[in-house]
Amino acid sequence: MTNQESLFHAFLNQHDDAAWERVMDELLPSIHPVDQAATRVWFSFFPLKLLRALQSSPNPTATAQELFLSGKYRLADQVDSSAGFLYGYRYWPEVKRAVLDYAAAVTAPASLSLSQQILEVASRTAERLKVEHALLTGITAVAFMTLQQTGSEAFRQATPPAKPAAKTSKSPEQILQDRAKDDGPGLLGFLKTVNHEFTVTFNENEPSCTFKLVNNQELATASAKDKRDYRTGDSRCIEGPIPVECRSAACGTCWVGILSDPHKLVAPGEREVERMQHFGYAGFTADQNSIIRLACQTRGLGNVTIVIPPWNGQIGKLQ
């Protein structure tokens, strides 16, 4: 690591989760609507407080056990795959290179504001790629945080997987339209005995990654009806694509991020609010605008697009 990179990392390390939350508030108007929720969800999935707790622990393995961590909770193990659900991810290799070049630059930054530095790198990269600046703001913020958490060497050496083909063919506007629409009631919809079904999408990059949900049904219950093999890819997936153990909000395994309109979900109830305070997942708010929910407590009222976190645990114990 060069001296300039060391200085840049020292600057980044002045920012904790609260500082990054302020940065995200400043950046949000500059992020394209297709990635506004996705960027916030990503930051909820990879909080600095978890990394710092493990780094400062004399026995990280014991700390992980105390927090009941399960799945892939280290960002360093998924540098080039963690942000695959962002539209801007298709520009990840170029954004990653731009951030590395910025960190190694010998000239002083034009601003000591982290949000302004992110906007500067996003703007330069967008101009070079001839794409809309707003499409790169979110993924550039992700790159800055990933660099902070992993360091230059791990960030540089990781190899990006192939770009997702399914999502590449759609414009941001088409993706937003897909998230907004609901399935129709069908030919028998006029019969009151027919329950209206909706579609839950849990990976926009793969057309097959959907399951059906009956109106006002919990996401986890609907997910369990999907009998395909998900456990081979994620041992936490006992029933369906959403990891779940208890279905009573006792374990926190089934937390998910919301990409579509959160108002298509019933607002958090008392049980979900109380348990989320215990689990400590960032991004949860006790209202219908929350971008993080517990699938076993969340009932759907329309088509929903979600992201499944790669890990779960009880990081509320760190507070």
Residue 191 confidence (pLDDT): 54
Residue 13 confidence (pLDDT): 94
Do 182 and 174 touch, CB atoms closer than 8 A?
no
Do 268 and 286 touch, CB atoms closer than 8 A?
yes
The CATH classification number of 173-318 equals 3.10.20.30
163-188 per-position pLDDT tens digit? 554 455 899 999 999 999 999 886 65
Q: Give me the residue spans of the domains in the chain.
A: 3-160, 173-318
Average pLDDT over residues 209-237: 97
The three-state DSSP-derived secondary structure of 271-311 is HHHHHHHHHCCCCCCCCCCCCEEECCCCEECCCEEEECCCE
Q: What angle do CA 6, 8, 10 make, to 5 degrees?
A: 70
- The pTM of the full predicted model, rounded to 2 decimals, is 0.94
Distance between CA atoms of 42 and 136, rounded to whole angstroms? 15
The band of 2, judged by pLDDT with boundaries at 50, 70 and 90, is confident
pLDDT at residue 194 above 90? no
Beta-carbon neighbour count of residue 172 at 10 Å?
16
Four-residue CA torsion sign, 22, 315, 226, 246: negative
Distance between CA atoms of 214 and 29, rounded to whole angstroms? 35
**Average pLDDT over all residues of the chain:** 93
What is the rounded radius of gyration, in angstroms, for the C-alpha atoms of the chain? 20
Max Cα distance, the chain (Å): 71
The band of 247, judged by pLDDT with boundaries at 50, 70 and 90, is confident
Residue 188 confidence (pLDDT): 58
The CA–CA distances, whole Å, from 21 to 40, 108, 268, 283, 286 equal 9, 25, 22, 10, 17
Residue 190 confidence (pLDDT): 54
> Minimum mean pLDDT among 43-47, 99-103, 158-162, 260-264: which range?
158-162
